[in-house]
Every structure is written in structure tokens, then in C-alpha cells.
Structure 1
Amino acid sequence: MLSKFKRNKHQQHLAQLPKLSQSAADIRTLFSPAEFRQTLLEKIAGATRRICIVALYLENDDGGRAILNALYDAKRARPEMDVSICVDWHRAQRGRIGAAAAATNADWYCQLATDNPQIAIPVYGIPVNTREALGVLHLKGFVIDDAVLYSGASLNDVYLHQHDKYRYDRYQWIQNGALAETFFNWVKTNLQAAEAVNRLDKSERPSSPEIKNETRQFRQDLRGFDYQFTPNAGNEELAVTPLVGLGKRSLLNKTIYHLMPCAEKKLTLCTPYFNMPAILVRNIIGLLRAGKEVEIIVGDKTANDFYIPEDQPFKIIGALPYLYEINLRRFLSRLQYYVSNGQLTVRLWKEGENSYHLKGIWVDDEWMMVTGNNLNPRAWRLDLENAILIHDPLQELTEQRDKELALIRTHTIVVNHFRELESIADYPAKVRKLIRRLRRIRIDKLISRIL
């Protein structure tokens, strides 16, 4: 059982975090990918001073083109407006995993810049590490004037529900001048002005090997770049705290670690890829032993963006959803006692051929974290991540929070026993063969650390 000292240590960390005052009327939860797309386009069209888009990628497909065209239209209408985009350097210069070689997103940015010589919208490529497998820009958030639209989503057809399929995420529109200013200034100072960062909308740019030394220094610098702002809220009012971090000792990771044990009644968390760092698993076990409730909402393996249906050609990347399911089954087998007594609830999300990308943490009715962090070893150690922690001691956001969670649960089933999940013996032959080969050479442990 958690001692009072430990409980106080965790609560003390949260109490000491700097906070920005927030009006409940100025937080609006969006409840679907289509509403996210519509709101983003509306806000871009209505912007007057600044737009800063930060995402893992902005894809050259119908959804991505709608966003970038809207940005060009907004800049054309108000040439004095500051409009910029930040995406991952490596991801922008390759195609999708498993797809045939084709023109890259960076090629598209260059073409649009060439086609619109009077309109300058810089697209910055952020190299978080020398190789994509070792760290990417997983920082999220769109600053539009004095508001932040925060989501774990990137920008393409499925995240924006442009056509039939969608990838389900979370979306919060937060009107807060101080929050927007904090995020905007941090991106301008620490990302866009960095020596390792180059424009992707210009064809004359260095190769990744040519900037490897600058990239290594940039990565080192990023570890020390926390958000800078003047706090103006206490612990007895609705407030937000922006958090950013790279590496396992970051303030963001420390806050996630301290947030979870603060649950007096219930912890709820969402992750698309069940592969939690051991330190977070220990937090969950500690809560269960202390008699608290824990709810985990994770995507079914078929709702994973790497899942390949059996009637399609198999690629190695298609083994990932099965590896995550193996992790979940092992986790549940250890904690079946708490599943059976109702303390631990695990829900699997599945809805048609759509995919699941939700992440976040809810602690009682008091704390809520919106983040792009997948709560996995990659997020914990390799990627540049951020989040907004919302403190709601007066429960002013209860209606929005309950509606969001109810919608997330809509297409879920509860796992009552670990044997309800498939074992390796049940998997397709090619998956089974690959996983056993990976285990034999022990590379599955390495994969779990970087994916």
C-alpha cells in the first residue's frame, strides 16, 4: 500500500508545478476526427495574427492538401500574418512505411512554394536524432492567434476523416493567450531558430549525414528546454500546465510518473500501443494493491495503424500489433486477480476498419493530461514529446470529460480474462514464424524499446 510519505511526494510534485489560469468556458473538447478537421479549417480561415502548426507529419493527400491550401489562403488574405509549420525532418523526406517509393512530402512543400512565389510559408524539418528510428518530433499542437488546438493527431486523410476511414484521437481547443504565447515562443526559439533545423520547402537543403553533428548537439540542447512562462494560478482553481520533454529524466516524464499514484479513487489511461515502461507498470500495480481502480483503454490489434489483414501481403511491420497484444496478455495474466475482483478494467477499442490513436491520463475528477505521448519506451526515451496537464479541482469540466470518456468507451469490449486474448499459437502462420524467430535471437526486446 502507498505510504502517506509517498502519496505526499507525488502530490507535492503536482502542487509545485507552475500553472496558468484557465476559464472553463474557454476549453472546448472536440469529439470526432471530422469535427477536428472542420474546426481546424475554420480557425485557420479566421486567424488574424499567427498560425503555427506542429505535427509529426503533414501528408500529401486530400486531407493534408486541404490544410496546407487553407494555410496558403489565410496567408494570401493577410500577408502580414506569421504562418509557419514544423514537421519531423526524416519523416518528411521518405514515403509511408511499406508503401512504394514516390514523391515525398518535402517534394510537395517545395512544389507549393515554387507555385506560390509571393506567399512565404516556411516548413521547418526538425531532426530530433540522426536517424528516425532513434527519435522523432512527436511534439504536437497548433497555435492559432491566442488559442492552442491540441491533439495527438498528425495531418492526413485518416486523422482528419477525409474519406471512409478515420484514426481516432483526442482534440482540445484551449483559448488561453498565455498558453499560446508560451508554446509559440518555445517553438520559434528552440526549434525554428536551431542550427540543425532546415527548411523543407526549399530544395537546397543538406542531407541528414551532413548535419549529424549539429543534430547531436540539438538533441542534447533539447533535453534542457522546458517551457518558460510566468505562473498566475494556484492549486484551488482551474489551471493548465504545458509540459515538454526529451529523455527519461524530462519534466514531462516525471510528471506522468507522479500523476498516476495521486489517484484516490480511479486512474484511467489510454494508449494505442500497449508497451508501457516498467516504472509505469509498477505505478499501476501499486494503485491496485492500495485498493484503487484502474481502467486502461487500448486499441484492439486490428485497430492498430500497423495491422495488415490476413488477405493482404504480409510485411514485417505487420507483426507489431501482435507484439503489443502479447505484452497486454502477459500484463493481464500477472494481474488477473485484480481483473476478476473488478479493480482493473481493460477495454479493447475496435470500430470497423478504423484505427485507434488515443492517449491520455485521467486521475479521479481532478486531473487530466492531454498528450501525444504513447506511454511507451520510445516516448519515454527517444522522441520529443509534450502535453498539457489540466487541473480541475472544482470539477468545472466534468460534463466535457464524462462525455469524452463515454464516447471513447462506446466501441470497446471489456477483457474479463487474459485467455480472451489470442496467444501466439492462434496467430497467422507468417506472424507466428516471425515472432518465434525474433524471440530466438532476442531482438523482440530491442524492437519493444524503439517502437
Structure 2
Amino acid sequence: MLFESPRAFLSALPRFAQSAHAFEALASSAQFREQLLEHIAKAQRRIYIAALYLQNDAAGDLILSALYAAKARQPQLEIAVFVDWHRAQRGLIGAKAESGNAAWYQQRAQQHHLEVPIYGVPVQSRELLGVLHLKGFVIDDKVIYSGASLNNVYLHVGDRYRYDRYHVLHNPALAESMVHFFQTALLSQTAVHRLDRPNIPSTKAIRGEIRHFRQHLKAARYSLQGSSNTETGLAITPWVGVGQRNPLNRLILKLISASERKIVICTPYFNLPRSVTKALNSLIKKGVQIDLIIGDKTANDFYIPPSEPFKTIGALPYLYEANLRRFAKVQQKAMQAGQLNILLWHDIGHSFHLKGIWVDDDYQLLTGNNLNPRAFNLDLENALLIHDPQGELSTSKAAELQQIRQHTRRIASYTELETLADYPEKVKKLLTRLSRIRVDRLLSRFL
């Protein structure tokens, strides 16, 4: 129906039944690392991994070594790792030029002489215009879902961690659906190439295949075979989308609008699409309580302390804080009334990468979607919508939210957030220049 209510839309979705006893929320990045390695070591049939990147560092080596060990132990094991095509063939942002992770994949493949395929997925012909932001690790019939990528800070190897959400679900139907998507939406396409083998084609050489692939992805969906739209207990619906007005965007907006009493939203970067801001404004008018949990600018993965050499990318956390300040100023009345709670996450030396939505007591969304214009318009994103009408996950939900709130502080007024005048001199000069030519608004669409 054209004007169906958000609740009607959500309740009509097909979904897979999920046992509460087979659903676990992990508390830390270290636990995520341990669980991932443990499940890889026990794998019997298949391992499918999707992440933005698998980094050439100590943590990445742990994962890749575990995959090779699993393959040596179980030669018939199906393994496929999917990473972003562009990200795998460049160095870190702001770092010196290097060949990227692909050269490392090839080196390891030559050392082991075992088939552990690592595929580069080119969502667009340029990284700025879209990347593989698909999430999920399928190991046999289990799904490990997190917004994290695979490197030292995401897996807490060393002194620092980047905080995310981490869930382990035993659900054969969901696992099968996700593997089917990997096989039909990604592996079947000529634009997707092995990065662990030499002679990788240039992006220019496969530009036509990438355009075709992009169109294919816009129509790609998770298989919902074996699902039901009459499930009355705990259930999960996988969702995927890429490009403007995609199905995942619609789902997120319907989910936000479905809130009747309380909604909790986590995002590391406060750069909301207009449609999301509009939906939140409507909730405030309806009297719905809103908790926004956001990374403090110093907990942003692009933050550069004033004591270190400044790079242009280091201005991003300040742009996000300026966005938040403007939003908070408009909604100051709701903040004073306690209807809108803005909670800033900060744990000294660590960073925040956590996303998610909790609606009333019956819905929550696991996703890698940053709820920003880039996620809504450019990147390939996915999510797991959890419907819990009987509150079977209420204890798990409360524990997870308590853990997330542990390092947060509530701001009572927009004036608690810094302004341009408070920023380091180089940040101030750059943001002033960008604002004059309105490039800051353009950047918000891509970063």
C-alpha cells in the first residue's frame, strides 16, 4: 500500500525465526577477535567473510593465518573473503604511498599454496563514489555480524581499540541466505576479481564491467526462502541496498518512524541524511524520547591530536561536531525537557565506530550503515532487522546498551560543544576556507 503505516510495513516483512538462546551480543572488540578466531578454527563446511578491508598488520595476519590453517586442516572447506576493490589496493589515508593489502594477499598465497580466495569488489569505478560496506561473517551455520573491519584497532591487537557492535547468531536459514547473496550477487560477476593472485586488472580496464555490476547490485536482494511473514516470536530479516532510494534506506526510515515511545540511535559520525533528520524531527513533535549516542570528535577514527602533524583528513571530526551543534541548537528545548538525550562517547585513546537502532521494546537493527549521505547514496550496505515482540532479548539488549553507555556523557546544551573559535588554528583556517566556497557541504555527501 502506498500510504501504509511504518508499523504495518515492518510487520509484513518476511523473516527467519531466531532462537534467543542462539543469539549472543559480545561486549568488546577483544571478545569479537577471540570468537572469530575460535569459529574459524572449528569450521567444517564454509567460511564467507565480508569486510571493508583485511589489513596487513598483526590482527590481519591473525585472521589470514587462521584461514590458511583451517584450509590445511579441512581441504574441502569453502572459503571466500570479500573486501573493497579500491581500499585493498591503496595505503591508509594520510600515509605514504604503498602497494596496499593486495600485494600482501599475493605474498601469503605464494607461501601457502592453498586456496584462500580474497575477492576485490568494485562497487564503483572510484572509491569516493562507493565502496563495499557489506558486513557479515558466515561460518558453517553461524553468522557473526559486526560493523568492524579487520585490523589491529578493530580487533584490539595492541593498546588501542575501535568500539563496535558484535553479535553471534546460530541460524542456518539466515546463514544460507547470506551465502546465497555472496554467491549470486558477488561471485557470479565478472567485475569481481581475485586479489590474492598476480596480474590484477586495472580499474580502467574493467570500467564497463563495474558499471554493469553496479546496476546488478541495485536489483540484488537476500533470498528469503524458508522465511515467514507470520512469525510471532523472535525473528530476523536481512536487508541490503546500494544507491539512492534503495530498499535499506526505506527500511531505516520506516523503522525510525515506527517508534511510538523511545528510540536509541548510535552513529560514529553525525552527518545525517536530510530524510533521517526529518524523521527525527517528526518523532520529537510526537513526544517520542530519543537517545543519540555519538562518538566525541576525539573518538573519531580521523581525529588527529593537536600535538601531531595536521593532515586535511583531520578536519572531518570537527565538521561532524559542527553538524551536531547545529542540530542540538535547533532542538535545545527538547534537550532541556529530557526528551532528546545526546550522549557523547569518549574513552581516552580509543575510537568509536558503533552503529545501530533500537525502537521501543520490539525492534532493533544491526548494521554497518553510518546513517550518513554516503551510506544512503553510494556504498553497498546491509543490515539485520530483529523483531522481538515478546521481549526475548530484553536482558541482552539492556546489557549491551549499558555497556555502550559506559563511556558516554550527556550534554545538556548545545553550548557545551566547541565552535570554530575553539579549534586548532590549522583546522580553523581550513574550515573557514571550505565554508566560504561551500565545499564543506559537498564533502558531507561523500565522507
Name the aligned partner's letter for residue 429 of structure 2. Answer: K
Q: Which amino acid aligns with 2:232?
A: E
TM-score by length of 2: 0.98
TM-score by length of 1: 0.98
Say if 2:161 is the partner of 1:166.
yes
| Alignment partner of 1:200 out of 191, 195, 199 | 195
- Which of 66, 69, 73 is residue 65 of structure 2 equivalent to? 69
Specify the alignment match of 1:352 in structure 2.
Answer: 348
Over residues 310-360 of structure 1, what are the superposed CA-to-partner deviations in whole Å (9 max), with x where a residue is unaligned? 010000000000000000000000000100011000000000110000000
Q: 1-side partners of 2:257 and 2:3: how far apart?
A: 7
Provide the residue aligned with 2:435 in structure 1.
439
The structure 2 residue matched to 1:331, chosen from 327, 334, 340, is 327
In structure 1, the residue corresponding to 2:219 is in which secondary structure?
Answer: coil
Matched residues, percent identical?
52
Residue in 2 that maps onto 1:223: 218
User: In structure 2, what residue type is equivalent to 1:203?
Assistant: P
Q: Which amino acid aligns with 1:374?
A: N
- Per the TM alignment, residue 188 of structure 1 is displaced from its structure 2 partner at its CA by 1.1
Match of 1:161, SS?
coil
Q: Secondary structure at the match of 2:181?
A: helix
Which residue does the alignment assign to 2:380?
384
**Does the 8 Å CA contact 1:152/1:170 hold for their aligned counterparts?**
yes
Deviation of the 1:7 alpha carbon: 9.6
The CA deviation at 1:435 is 0.3
Distance between the aligned counterparts of 2:424 and 2:353, measured in 1?
24
CA distance in 1, matches of 2:115, 2:106: 11
| 2:47–2:139 contact (8 Å) kept in structure 1 | yes
Counterpart position of 2:279: 283
- From 250, 262, 265, the counterpart of 1:266: 262
Structure-2 residue corresponding to 1:188: 183
Aligned residue-pair number = 446
Amino acid in the other structure paired with 2:67: L
RMSD: 1.2
Matched residue type, 1:312: E
Instruction: Give the partner amino acid of 1:164.
Output: D
Q: Is the 8 A contact 1:295 1:345 kept in 2?
A: yes
Q: Give 1:17 shift.
A: 1.1
What secondary structure does 2:173 align onto? helix
Contact 2:17 2:231 in 1 (8 A): no
- Counterpart CA distance in 2 for 1:342 and 1:30 is 30
**Cα distance per residue 1:126-167 (max 9 Å; x no partner):** 000000000000000000000110000000000000110000
Of 122, 142, 148, the match for 1:147:
142
The answer for the alignment partner of 2:228 in structure 1 is 232
Give the C-alpha shift of residue 235 in structure 1: 4.6
- The structure 1 residue matched to 2:131, chosen from 128, 136, 140, is 136
CA contact (8 A) 1:52 1:184 kept: yes
1:197-222 alpha-carbon deviations (Å, 9 max, x no partner): 11100111210111111111111110
| Aligned with 1:179 (options 169, 174, 178) | 174
Structure 2 runs not aligned, ≥5 long: none
* In 2: Cα distance, 1:425 partner to 1:199 partner: 49
Q: CA deviation at 1:264?
A: 1.5
SS of the equivalent of 1:162 reads coil
- Which residue of structure 2 aligns with residue 18 of structure 1? 14
Choose the corresponding residue for 1:213, options 201, 208, 213: 208
Shift of 1:300: 0.2
Mark the runs of 5 or more structure 1 residues left unpaired by the alignment.
none
Q: Does 1:45 align with 2:45?
A: no
Determine the C-alpha separation between the residues in 2 that align with 1:246 and 1:100: 31
- Specify the code of the residue in structure 1 equivalent to 2:339: Q
Give the whole-Å Cα distance in 2 for the aligned partners of 1:138 and 1:329.
Answer: 28
CA distance in 2, matches of 1:116, 1:268: 46
SS at match of 1:449: coil
Separation in 2, partners of 1:436, 1:18: 49
3-state SS of paired residue (2:64): helix
- Relative to structure 2, which stretch is displaced further, 322-331 or 94-103? 94-103
